[in-house]
Structure 1
């Protein structure tokens, strides 16, 4: 039995999730303020209710959505290299995954690390309790002895809680190009906060979608199956359900644009007519003009120079760079 499991298993195998059934206060505030801005805005972090998580799982398997396949290839090809990066001195380590979702790609690492009898635990963190509960059940079936410490939490609260529980090296996973959803200044702030909460020797493995032919990127966010459209519109369905609103989903359309000069893909919901929406819980009336937009998501694409600059600006060093065969995607190790 590995040292990590003997020493820390009592503190990291708790799988109880305490979740409020009330509407997320952050969603209330986002809707209240975001729909009064010009242009109107709603954060993509609220895409992931149960239905949103289900749709996104379909998106990841879409032939037009290259990101999942590309990162899967990176992790599968370089899993042994990553384990060597994570265990230079054979210390036990804890994989802390921010935004774990269904763990599809992470399971490549979990399975390999288990086969290699690595001394580690897994702490998935997600704001979607449905995704987290499903992930826990699935992992328990595949690796019943793997120490688990799931957190239904925001990222930094989870890191602060976990830092008090063991002296193992922390390997923070931030996969799936989630960093692309951050504006540039927010990305810098995010990594600076990570840096402040980690110890020397801790690592961050981040998935970055790299800049490539604009048509490939545009199609990924405007897929022929209409999954991204359904994913975007589901945000309005969630507001209808949780805040007693009356958005007519047939009166809004999904619109995606990619700007290769800035490397930004942006998603919008577009009002297809002049209309008024009532949000009863908030006692709000929201007018929409024909063609008016709600900005819902930004997905930035990166160059290697931008990634290296991000590490330098936030106190990290790049200690590992791994890409797929086409050079579409990179998983990059930042060392604290």
Structure 2
């Protein structure tokens, strides 16, 4: 059985884009949220990034999931698997297969902001897992966690290191909001990139082929198309740098020379000085102790910590505990 629940539509997304761009271009320093990279072209570019030799997170996380999927199934006995920001749910099939073999899984609930992409994924999954209820939820993981269907012995998977795109206050709100919708004993499976030599980290965000640079600049194409702006996209260069104090990578766009940009749909004119940078993404890296503390403050207890031999990436399994 296939179900698609819609909690956000194109009008909601358009309003959010307008708000984010207006606020971000007026901010000092200027900033844009990374979610606006992902139109059809942005999603295609990101898929290319995940296959690049410099980009270790996707293949490393997949190897961890492949190695630990059977243990994950035995530990959780999950009846419902929820995936946040599911996209194509490619890596999640390792978990689905393990839970199906284990004999406990009854339903899969992928959540994504893109209704079109989610419908395609749900249709394929329903065909590939004919005995499984597939219930897609179109929503924003920062605003619609309460709309996830209630269930019995759920596991929520949030993979890909995407939690690193949230700054600490946002992570605390997200984890607290997720804990609020889970029952004690239910699970969170979380993928996190780890702190290590910046010489390994930074090239993953600044590849030699220039794919990440095109991905970064794609946010300007999105704004030009959807808000009738006139960014000269080629006038901005891609920057990726390691912030040692915050232990995250920052992606920025740097104006090569002075620019004046008109965003017609907002009635907004914005000036960029030569060399001025606009932040488009942070990608936080984690240490086990720090993540354990963040989880504990939100009401989760770390039960398993799985990593690769080089300690590049970790997949953690945490359990919701009773709140005081």
**TM-score computed with the length of structure 1 as normaliser:** 0.90
Instruction: Report the 3-state secondary structure (helix = DSSP H, G, I; strand = E; otherwise coil) of the residue aligned with 2:238.
Output: strand
CA distance 1:18–1:311, change in 2 (3 Å):
closer
Instruction: Report the 3-state secondary structure (helix = DSSP H, G, I; strand = E; otherwise coil) of the residue aligned with 1:42.
Output: coil
CA distance 1:306–1:54, change in 2 (3 Å):
same
Q: Over residues 236-263 of structure 1, what are the superposed CA-to-partner deviations in whole Å (9 max), with x where a residue is unaligned?
A: 1011111011111111111000134431
| 1:52 maps to 2:52 | no
Gapped regions of structure 1 (runs ≥ 5)? 1-8
| 1:188 maps to 2:172 | yes
Per the alignment, residue 88 of structure 2 pairs with 102
Name which of structure 1's ranges 241-250 and 154-163 shifts more when overlaid on structure 2. Answer: 154-163
Task: Please state how far the C-alpha of 1:192 moved relative to its aligned partner.
Answer: 1.3
Within a 5 Å distance, the mapping from 1:217-236 to structure 2 comes to: 217-236=201-220
Any conservation in 2 of the 1:94–1:120 contact (CA below 8 Å)? yes
Q: Separation in 1 of the partners of 2:237 and 2:48? A: 20
Gapped regions of structure 2 (runs ≥ 5)? none
Task: Please state how far the C-alpha of 1:325 moved relative to its aligned partner.
Answer: 2.4
Instruction: Report the 3-state secondary structure (helix = DSSP H, G, I; strand = E; otherwise coil) of the residue aligned with 1:131.
Output: helix
Any conservation in 2 of the 1:49–1:128 contact (CA below 8 Å)? no
Task: Please state how far the C-alpha of 1:157 moved relative to its aligned partner.
Answer: 5.1
Task: Please state how far the C-alpha of 1:161 moved relative to its aligned partner.
Answer: 2.5
Task: Please state how far the C-alpha of 1:107 moved relative to its aligned partner.
Answer: 1.4
Any conservation in 2 of the 1:97–1:124 contact (CA below 8 Å)? yes
- Which of 268, 272, 275 is the matching residue for 1:291? 275
Within a 5 Å distance, the mapping from 1:1-336 to structure 2 comes to: 13-15=2-4, 20-22=9-11, 24-87=14-77, 93-155=79-141, 158-164=144-150, 167-336=151-320
Root-mean-square deviation over aligned CA pairs: 1.8
Instruction: Report the 3-state secondary structure (helix = DSSP H, G, I; strand = E; otherwise coil) of the residue aligned with 2:260.
Output: strand
Any conservation in 2 of the 1:50–1:128 contact (CA below 8 Å)? no
**Paired residue total:** 319
**TM-score computed with the length of structure 2 as normaliser:** 0.93
Per the alignment, residue 4 of structure 1 pairs with none
Task: Please state how far the C-alpha of 1:129 moved relative to its aligned partner.
Answer: 2.7
